[in-house]
Amino acid sequence: MECDVATAGNGEQALSAIRKDPPDLVLLDLQMPRMGGIEVLRALRKEGIDVPAIVITAHGSIETAVEAMKEGAYDFITKPIDANHFDIVVRKALEREGLKRELELFSEDADKRYRLIIGTSQKMKEAVETAKKAAISKATVLLLGESGTGKEVFARAIHNWSERKDQPFVAINCVGLSKELLESELFGHEKGAFTGADQQKKGKMELANGGTVFLDEIGDVSQELQTKLLRFLQEREFDRVGGVRPIRVDVRIIAATNRDLDGAVKEGHFRQDLYHRLNVVPITLAPLRERAEDIPILAHHFMDRYAKEAKKNFSEIVADALKQLCAYEWPGNVRELGNVIERAIVLGRGPRLTLQDLPSRVVASVARPSIDGRSYRDAMEYYRRELILVALERCHGNRAAAARALGLHEKYLLRLLKSLRIGS
Ligand SMILES: Nc1ncnc2c1ncn2[C@@H]1O[C@H](COP(=O)(O)OP(=O)(O)OP(=O)(O)O)[C@@H](O)[C@H]1O
Ligand SMILES: [Mg+2]
């Protein structure tokens, strides 16, 4: 793969270089002098510069990496960097970008991954049931839930279940864009409304007429725009920026946020009247760790999908691997699960997806304690046993290495093995 590479000494330099000549891909360190990686991502979004960025993060700072993903990063790589892995991630990102541009022309196809809602947990069933009922009405829907829980999946599903399904579905991401840009994006502008407005432009509300408008990250809208949205929700009409004649449209509104809107109202950051207008049919999507029974079916779904994409033969997830997938906390929810499986397929050989195919953060996680009638003593013994088994597994049964990994003297580990009757 041949690439032209340009480097920058800090975030500020990077930003001005990207502004001048946007590259196909940005590799972004998070900790940099003057301006950090997260700030660079925010600035790119704010200015509407659409370049994929892969974030490079220190080992163990997964939380920051997830934050970067929320700020629009395409993927992340942890240090120390493995050359093979690096090569694959970069290739994939470039390939995807090329593909995305082609697919944007056929938005039908691009939206396919949002067609299916997978999950059989009670929480998922209830969410789907509410969404289906809401779909046949014109009521405004408010989707709540952590990042990666499927809010956009639900928004598109509601549109597809509604009688508007053949009309446009228009998504607007409210985060990051400056107030002026967002207003003109939503409501359009007249020629000459502001410097640079040399032509009249229709806003997305107008383009979506007859269909559905998806206001994503609604919790991040400025106070001023909240007022305009409120007027629109009450009267179903708006003015283009610089316009003199109100415009009426027929659109169904679906809004989403991963913020605590209720809290934002109490703190005075979000208008209460707008909140009530949006909160007609609220649907909360539970974090994946609270519906772990959905993990096996989702993991298999992603395995089939990515194996097909990569033209590889994967037919099974071994029991140990599945157990770890179910035990992990998934701070990035379904999106993170999808990424982990995709990586396993791209890097692995198959046909079995094993523990070795999973990243260390997933393998190292120990099931959250559950209070299921076990006594304290039994539970402690259970977790001690699990911890030792995980360590032995990671060290391929080598007891000396497992003891080191656990920070124990080997003799003490041997005593534990005996008292817990492991390996005898
Ligand atoms: N129930 C589900 N079935 C199948 N795929 C899902 C499901 N939920 C989420 N996904 C997949 O997970 C990824 C993240 O979902 P989505 O973009 O809807 O999350 P989100 O809640 O909008 O996250 P964010 O708040 O970060 O925008 C998508 O690729 C989507 O296809
Ligand atoms: Mg989303």
- What pLDDT does 102 receive? 47
Per domain, the residue ranges of the chain are: 11-108, 112-284, 288-363, 376-419
Tokens of 40: 């660079």
Nearest ligand to the C-alpha of residue 148? 1
For 112-284, give the CATH class: alpha beta
Is the CB of 37 within 6 Å of ligand 1?
A: no
Place of tokens 């082609």: 102
Say how far apart CA 73 and CA 348 lie, in whole Å. Answer: 24
The two domains 11-108 and 288-363 share their CATH topology (first three levels equal): no
Tokens of 128: 């789907």
Helix axes 410-419, 376-394, angle to 10 degrees: 130
- What pLDDT does 158 receive? 95
Indicate the fold that domain 376-419 takes in CATH: Arc Repressor Mutant, subunit A (1.10.10)
How many angstroms separate the alpha carbon of residue 185 from the centre of ligand 1? 24
- Atom of ligand 1 minimally distant from the CA of 149: 21
**Tell me, what DSSP letter sits at residue 369?**
P
- What pLDDT does 267 receive? 93
Tokens of 345: 């397929």
Residue nearest to atom 12 of ligand 1 (CA): 335
Residue nearest to atom 26 of ligand 1 (CA): 147
Match domain 288-363 to its CATH number in 1.10.8.60, 1.20.200.10, 2.60.60.20, 1.10.238.10: 1.10.8.60
Residue nearest to atom 16 of ligand 1 (CA): 150
CA-to-CA dists, residue 33 to 18, 40, 43, 56, 189, angstroms: 17, 12, 16, 15, 39
How many angstroms separate the alpha carbon of residue 334 from the centre of ligand 1? 6
How many residues are present in the chain?
A: 424
- What pLDDT does 103 receive? 42
Q: Which of 152, 294, 340 to mutate to test the pocket of ligand 1 (most atoms within 8 A of CB)?
A: 152
Say how far apart CA 97 and CA 315 lie, in whole Å. Answer: 28
Residues of the chain with pLDDT under 50: 102-111
How many angstroms separate the alpha carbon of residue 336 from the centre of ligand 1? 9
Tokens of 327: 């035990």
- What pLDDT does 369 receive? 62
How many angstroms separate the alpha carbon of residue 151 from the centre of ligand 1? 6
Is the CB of 188 within 6 Å of ligand 1?
A: no
Kindly report the CATH number that applies to the domain delimited by 11-108.
3.40.50.2300
What sign has the CA pseudo-torsion 305, 306, 312, 316?
Answer: negative
Q: Is 136 exposed, middle or buried (0-12, 13-18, 19+ CB in 10 A)?
A: exposed
How many angstroms separate the alpha carbon of residue 424 from the centre of ligand 2? 50
- What pLDDT does 104 receive? 44
> Are 42 and 73 spatial neighbours (Cβ–Cβ below 8 Å)?
no
- What pLDDT does 52 receive? 86
Is the CB of 120 within 6 Å of ligand 1?
A: no
